[in-house]
Structure 1
């Protein structure tokens, strides 16, 4: 147990560490060690390639081949530094991009048709890139097994479903090909270089992977790697109908009832479901109705004129329930024990028994609120008539009456008494039920018309709910975009400082206020903006300006650069909100740093005191709240132009499976789809229902609302999975009502017949 506890890693810990501040994270350590190690490995591989190419040129058969070998040798020998610097730049860009899982750069596997559309040169480069990646992967299979899992954990993508390993062979090979493309060399020269590197790079890369695996394990990032098998959950919901679409379910039910001799009636019944009344005889010893009177009698009962039919032998409680429209009472059991049942054919009697038991399930279904259940219960006699007229009602899921019952129950799951009985969904269902009771004799199309009206009403409600929910969704999007901007800023600062030591005063400035400014610019303007590109350029110039200047050309370049750099830095400290005292302190320290940089080429920056940064540099970005419990979501106020697009997106959202990104949440969250309902306990112990309305693509926060898109709450995957495991929340069964009812009845009959 102790070993198991030692292997538990906080899934969101590393993500939170990257949100801001200058702290050094395990991901930063991976970036630094891999970038430095890969550059050394590339330098050694280029040296080995140079010696190999020299021998190949000496043995070349033909002038063209000789020139190819010599051109590649020249590229290897004379441009080694440029290739190394370009590789470092492209590698850090791709590493950061894969860590962020940028939506714009999600990878798609190319198929053969896509390859055939590429230009020949592009195809050759693509194949060379793949070949280099495969060479690295084949040489490092064991190391990558653990590294893929650890890096997946650090970037909140444990299964690497949204991209590749930031340290993986694909990133390295693409960065290397991009670096070669930056050189002024012919395609054949670059391809030959890639071929040589694929022979010399994989082994040292394996050593780099081993080192990073050891360091991550020491930092408690999956210290023990275990294999696991993902188990698929059963597709069958509890109580779901047995039997395929179109099978003769009614015949199966009849057979099971005959084998079992019937079942005892539900709680509302007065006798056995297959009680003493047989076709053609009365339950009470009184004269039976004629069979041709059954449907007209049901029609009149359906319309609520029950008082006229005491002569039919109906119990007074049943008559009162029909007369007062009390749908909570199963009136079909009362009909079964009346003289009316004696006039029915054997087939109709069994149909009555089956429909009565179906409504036992319906009226006992805890998913449906009692008020709506009472309305649906008023359809007992119409549904009985449908089943008597058309036995495919039991087997065809597309039957209009069956689809209507399913739709009514599904719509009712999210209804609560707070909506009231005077409008909205309750009034619509009441209106549709009243129309069916009034209009349905034997024209089953009445149910299809009611279903069409209900669907139109619900579609309008969904659009209104999307409009109500949009500000809350936008608020979560803003929070997550701010978090992503902080990660981007953090990664850019760390990448820029990598391999470039700076005085501590400048380092503190860059990892503190400058990083927060970058996050603010990225959040408000984006990566393609001039402000973002200018801030990165200014940061690079600042870092270079305080580095040791070892020759006259570098000092001359510094003198030329300083006016523009100081002007840009002055604008930046203004953006940061530094007061005059803070500005003076910063520029005083910067002057000292420049003086040290040009002083005999020695960098003595540690002697320069740090300057205080006032609280005014804090940027006004939405703070990330990673809720492990249900937390209210405040609505965002956005530009009017943005709202319609978001509303359309939310209204058009289709159901899709949502699986928690953390491995330990998949079992609990694998059944969740957008539109699913859960029931959870509030702090006061009251149970509340909420619909999964949206899942954020960046961070995986789950946004729940009520049926009308209001009362938005959010929770993260780990928190929701924990509540489901603890029984503090449960996913409501999403199976259609009639599937559940018929399936439950069939299971009861099978047990009884066994």
Structure 2
């Protein structure tokens, strides 16, 4: 789609062409497209507004956390642009969508899709910014294409009927994820945001708007179905039969026979959309996936060869009396696994992938009366899933609540992987998404010393849904994962709110401590080298310090209020050290100031008389003692704050280096702390720290402040870093299942690499 709306080039000509394209449509087609647009407009309006609100909140939060004034100014400028242009955002998106819908029968003209003449300001072959944005939007589109694959396939057929053309694929569909991505880029251009904020906009669009995309596609399909556009259109996936020597020979005979049925006729399983003559539109994997799967099989073969060369016993390929074992057909394996899946778990149930394989072969032996085996591809599938589960187990705690749930998922995952080996190479596979959600929930959200019945219930429900309903349709995993993700996202939002409250409280405590220190400093400066009576110094250090602290917190050090009270402090000290009479009105100002921190009536009058040196007939030791007792019993301003830490010892060069590293870390960095001598680590988030006092706030995954063995200031953390009892998590390592899969691949490559080196050295 062109960028003419966003760039503002010839809007009148563009609108005229759009009107011409609309008028050229048949009335019924135009009416149906108007209904599609009316269906999507309120939903998109609401969701786009939510995306902008979330973007404003995120940018405002970044501005609050920015330590650099220039960065803060940039964030505030971004906020200004958002508020200035936000009214044009949704109309631009919806206007572009209407143009796409009404132009489904209009071929793209060269002048319509021509880009603006580029300005060659540098000798670069590519525009890095543009590529990065395109890559982000393309990744988002591909992810949601896979999640709504079947509804998009059916919708493409129906839009082909409306356009009087071949069926639309997901990339060219006017309401497809890729089209939405281009519309988002055009709408984002009117906001005049920088690259960083545009990428932030795309992420929010992915998290908040696109989760509702699949239901919208279903709703459009239902609308067109009710309007008799390919009514009752369905998609029926049929599994291909595994090739055997007998079936290959039969196929050859059928292909050479003049009476052989055409491709896709009865007896020839294929995927179809229930419309005769339609080409098979489903893809069984890209060339890259096929190449990756071939590499995996090669690595497994090298691993088995290496195991055989070490003299370890390999699974025999023959049964007793030397008879070759029969390879089980995939349909038999799936049926046996389906029966195992429906059984209630017992203590004797298989607990691992090798156990499941062994139980499968043992059951087959009992049924057939002789030993059987798995085909090479099926055996590789069992081995790969076992490697993946082993790597996942290395990242989980023993006894975690999610471990039993992961064990229950093994059988459905085996059935998925046997039917679709793309499970191992596609990160966005629905079954892989659910596996990652369950594993990460147990590893991240549930700590060693806590339980979460609500989360455990959601995890249990997701796994039960798959175990109960899965019978070849991978969308079962997607529906279970969507419900689980809603709960996890709600937990993430609660954690963010909780963390923000703790950060605000920590900032307030730090600000209070700094104000109190400055108040004490002001009193010390006024006293200088003089010596005040002990009782008078107690009044200054307690009651009057609270007054000065409150003034600093409310008005700041550059305010007239602070200067007025600093002058009053100097006058109080001069009254007692130099014997000067108290200025007129000083006692009244002191009484008024004491009232701000909770001193009232006779108590405030008595303190003001003592500070100004006004003689009092009732001023006797007993009355001063009574006043001192009241001061001691009174809760002072900030008395519930944390005690001031002791002055730290001098740091070693290594500790100082770690300290400077911590001061340069952004808020939100994760740090792992050692909890025992066995090397167990606990991960905490550095939510905030004070560059002035060095006080730090650490929270857990739920955004709750932790008061365990974790240090509470940068100095302590720096010393732990220096001796290796803490480490900074430098970057997000990705999802747990993806890390486990990469670890499995590394283990395979490492094993085969070592074996080749040993052969070369021999």
Question: Which has the bigger relative contact order, CA under 8 A and spacing at least 6?
Answer: 1
TM-score (norm 1): 0.46
TM-score, L = length of structure 2: 0.46
